[in-house]
Chain A
Amino acid sequence: MKHVNRRSLLKGAAAAGAVGAMSQAGLLEFAKAWAQAAPWKPEKGAKLTILRWKRFVQSEEDAFMALVAAFSKATGVAMTVLNESLDDVQPKASVAANTGQGPDLFWGLYSLPHLFPTKVVDVTDVATYLGKKYGGWVPSAETYGRSGGKWIALPIGYNGNVINYRQSLIAAAGHKEVPKDTAGFLDLMKALKGKNTPGGFALGRASGDGNAWVHWCLWAFGGNVVDAKDKVIINSPETVKALEYAQQLYANFIPGTASWNDSFNNKAFLSGELSLTNNGVSIYAAAKADAGKDPKMKAMMEDTNHALWPVGPAGKPTEFHVAYPMMIMRYSKAQQAAKAFMAFTLEAENYDKWLIGSVGYLTHPLNAYDKNPVWTSDPKLTVCRDVAKRTLTAGGLGSVGERAASALADFLVLDMFASVCTGRTTIKDAVSVAERQAKRIYR
């Protein structure tokens, strides 16, 4: 325990040094003043352990660790930050919730808190405080954060899952920009394949990228797992159309996407093998971070751009971005300290810097942060500003609850698409398999 603790803190301190001595001093002063005024007083000798998903953008983590260090110094709360890969956060959190031991705070994905709504602390007071101060929560944040009239988690940030593409290769395939409709988009994918510079989306069990694109596809054609009353309606002509479309897309993908997890498209894109994929802006951020020392990366950065998802027959945007909710576990002995920490991270003095550090990878859940300079400083990042407002929520039309969380955790939609695309089953069989599974989850 000690080992990681020390290392994390050292790293945080060093990173804070990198951000700039002045800003760090400023952060600490603010933190001290804030700790005096804040309504949540950490318990005496409180210790907090946070388990978060492992960073995708180094400077995002640096900014996070800087604010962790500032919070720790100002309040005297000893902080430990644990990192787990995206796919591992949910199982760890579930085990902790059911056994009543583990980290105080979890920072996970999508509807994670809804898997165990009774095992987390009510944070309505923090949500109200922040909502009032920063122009209100975006609607999807309310959906993800609330359960039964109270807030059970705060979506600290979103990750805009957008189309990443190479401008030069799109142009060579006869397109100035990524088409705004599904038919045009298929043409683009075909043209890219024709030029021998194919694109591709992850179809392995990738929590982030895989879920993002298959849900977009399902919803774009009007398909849904459940209706507004949580009745299973996945077996519909719309679902079949979505699967047929995905099948056509897959035929024009780069080989191997069915074995991709969240990391494969990053490395393929950065090495120049992949012309178009879906991802956060972390590919661009990685190229940008190395652009100074590597001319190849500089060229890659200049050629990379982002676009929002095309709109399908459903007639409205059907994007599915990643929400990152943070929750306090009920067994925690330092719940006030944890609440103070959650509020602290979303204060403008911290959150603005964090957004800048994450170079567009994280998007804010509070309206006031629309004005953050990161959205205007680099036009290639502007697409991510509104993702929290645009995203649909887990469960689609239905409720964001334990059942939606289960369906997501079982990769119900993703497996349906993967079986069809890889040709393992027919569309009809894949749909009926998914329907049977959905009915068990939503019984």
Chain B
Amino acid sequence: MPEAVLREPAAPLKPPTLLSRLMVNRDWLGFWFMLPAAAFLVLFLAYPLALGIAYSFTDAKIGQDIGSANFIGIENYQWLIGEFDCKWEWAAFWSRLFGGDFGALGALCKIVGDDQFHLAVFNTLFYTIVASVLKFAIGLYLAVLLNNHLPFRAVIRAIVLVPFIVPTVLSAIAFWWIFDPQFSIVSWSAKQMGLATENINFLGEPWNARWSAIFANVWRGVPFIAITLLAGLQTVPPSLYEASTIDGASRWQMFRYITYPLLTPIIAVVMTFSVLFTFTDFQLIKVLTNGGPAGSTELMATLSFNRAILGGQRIGEGAAISTAMIPFLLACILISWFGLQRRKWQQGEAND
């Protein structure tokens, strides 16, 4: 957009009365126009965000006012994160090191904290990283495929988006049924084809359950990424490809040196969204595995729900788990923000 033209709309040409009317009222007018949106965002977003941080320092139970809860400082965090339990013995250290037992180095010093919380942090990071990478790879591949000259292109594009339209919970139920321990259609097919002799234990074995949940997440996330990247691909001028074809570039070189650089800003934004929403995912896990088996798929979001709403209704502890997610989110936002800023400056675009 030609920002600069709009910024100061030909002010000197206008009669002073109009100008003063605009200038005098501008801030107040802006205030009134912002009021509805600001009211919603302050009352139901900013205030709860601050309140959540405040609750994390209390032992509040569900339904309890912040005023009537006991302030307990960082006890919730101490309980969750735990403390180092180090038995640092040089003898043991050397013998292990020279025995080639590098894995055991960690065993000398370990954190004794809330095992479920530690596991949830690990699961959340694993789930986010693996699912995001897969979503990006498959999404980009699908976008490139869809960018071909295809019959019924509009229809195919519409169909591809359907998993993204359908509410997550409803498709999660379908996956729950597909991953059933006894009546899974996948197990049945595998047995029929002779690939398996007994039912596949999709959700009852820790790693199987993690991969099953990641599969369902990728299934839902790929369409969003593919269609957005497709929109980006279509803005690449074909003349660039024609020129490079004449220069004898291979398909990979064209992708690497034309498509990818032009696509980078949109990739950055799309992946920020994808990573953030995967990191804070709740519904898929809640329905599909409910954190099981034995907490192997528990995410930070589901764990905070279990602690605060189910179980012992410890709002304070649940709030501490939620609050612990904020640093991760901030890091993620900052990385993409600065990455994007650099890009935009390089391309000389307006910064907004």
Interface residues in chain A, defined as those with a beta carbon under 8 Å from any beta carbon in chain B: 87, 90-91, 94-95, 97-99, 203-205, 254-261, 264, 267-268, 271, 273-274, 406, 409-411, 415, 418-419, 421-425, 429, 433, 436-437, 440-441
Q: Which of A255, A409, A418 contacts B311 (CB under 8 A)?
A: A409
Chain B positions 56 through 71: 1 when the CB is less than 8 Å from some CB of chain A, otherwise 0: 0000011110000000
A sample of 19 inter-chain contacts (CB < 8 A) reads A87-B310, A94-B63, A98-B63, A99-B63, A203-B204, A205-B291, A255-B198, A255-B204, A256-B203, A256-B204, A257-B181, A258-B293, A259-B203, A260-B204, A261-B290, A267-B183, A422-B204, A422-B205, A429-B115
For A415, the chain B residues whose CB sits under 8 A away are 116, 294-295
Taking A410-B312, A419-B295, A424-B296 as contacts, is the C-beta distance between A259 and B61 under 8 angstroms?
Answer: no
Bound complex: CA A259 to CA B292 (Å): 6
Partner of B199, one of A94, A255, A423: A255
Within the complex, what minimum Cβ distance (angstroms) separates A110 from chain B? 14
Q: CA–CA, A264 to B296, complex, Å?
A: 19
A406/B312 in contact, CB under 8 A? yes
| Given A99-B63, A256-B182, A419-B295, A440-B204 contact (CB < 8 Å) | no
A410: contacting residue among B61, B294, B311, CB under 8 A: B311
Taking a contact as CB atoms under 8 Å apart, the answer to whether A268 and B311 are in contact is: no
CA distance A321 to B289 in the complex (A): 26
A259 to B297, CA, bound (A): 11
Nearest to A196 among chain B residues (CB) is B198
CA distance A409 to B311 in the complex (A): 4
- B167-224 residues at the A interface, CB under 8 angstroms: 181-183, 198-206, 209
Look across to chain B and name the residue whose beta carbon is closest to the beta carbon of A273.
B182
What DSSP secondary structure best describes chain A's contact surface? Answer: helix
Question: At the interface, yes or no: B313 with Cβ under 8 Å from chain A?
Answer: yes
B201 near A204 (CB under 8 angstroms)? no
Q: Beyond A95-B62, A256-B199, A419-B294: 15 further Cβ-contacts under 8 Å?
A: A87-B310, A91-B309, A98-B61, A205-B290, A254-B182, A255-B181, A255-B204, A256-B181, A257-B204, A259-B292, A274-B182, A415-B294, A418-B295, A422-B206, A433-B115
B293 and A259 within 8 A (CB):
yes
Q: Which A residues are CB-close (under 8 A) to B311?
A: 406, 409-411
User: Contact flags (1/0) for B279-317 with A, using CB distance below 8 Å?
Assistant: 000000000011111111000000000000111110000
Interface string of B97-135 (1 = CB under 8 A from A): 000000000000000101110000000000000000000
With the chains together, A125 CA to B292 CA distance in Å?
44
What secondary structure prevails in chain B residues at the interface with A? loop
Q: In the assembled complex, which residues on chain B have CB atoms less than 8 Å from the CB atom of A410? A: 311-312
Tell me if A418 and B115 are in contact (CB < 8 A): no
Residues from chain B with Cβ under 8 Å of A256 in the complex: 181-182, 199, 201-204
* Interface contact A422-B293, CB-CB below 8 Å: yes
A52 to B199, CA, bound (A): 36
Q: Are B294 and A418 in contact (CB under 8 A)?
A: yes
- The one of B200, B291, B295 that contacts A424, using a Cβ cutoff of 8 Å: B295
Q: Do residues B181 and A98 form an inter-chain contact, with CB atoms below 8 A?
A: no
Q: Any chain A CB within 8 A of the CB of B94?
A: no
Please tell me the size bucket of the interface on B: 35 or more
CB distance from A406 to the nearest CB of B (A): 4
Complex: chain A residue closest to B209, CB-CB: A259
A381–B338 CA distance with the chains assembled, in angstroms: 70
Bound CA–CA A334/B183 (angstroms): 47
Q: Assess A91 versus B294: contact at CB under 8 Å? Given A256-B201, A424-B206, A440-B79.
A: no
Q: Are A203 and B62 in contact (CB under 8 A)?
A: no
The list of the 3 closest CB pairs from A to B, nearest first, reads A256-B181, A98-B63, A258-B293
Task: Please determine whether A258 and B204 come into contact, CB atoms closer than 8 angstroms.
Answer: yes
Q: Which residues of B contact A422 (CB under 8 A)?
A: 204-206, 293-294, 296
B293 to chain A: which residues have CB within 8 Å?
203-204, 258-259, 418, 422, 424
| B residues less than 8 Å from A259 (CB atoms) | 181, 201-204, 209, 289, 292-293
CB proximity of B298 to chain A, nearest CB, Å? 10
Among A95, A204, A258, point to the contact of B63 (Cβ < 8 A).
Answer: A95
Taking the closest CB of chain A, its distance from the CB of B302, in whole angstroms, is 11
> Which residues in window 32-64 of B have CB below 8 A to A?
61-64
Write the nearest CB–CB distance from B319 to chain A, whole angstroms.
Answer: 16
Q: Decide: B290 and A271 in contact? CB cutoff 8 A.
A: no
Contacts of B112 in A (CB 8 A): 436
Q: Which of A98, A257, A264, A424 has the most CB of B within 10 A?
A: A424
The smallest beta-carbon distance between B169 and chain A, in angstroms, is: 16
Q: How far is the CA of A97 from the CA of B64 in the complex (A)?
A: 11
Q: Is the CB of A441 within 8 A of B312?
A: yes
Q: Is the CB of B313 within 8 A of A424?
A: no
**Residues on B with beta carbons closer than 8 Å to the beta carbon of A441:** 312
Cβ contacts under 8 Å, A204 to chain B: 290, 292-293
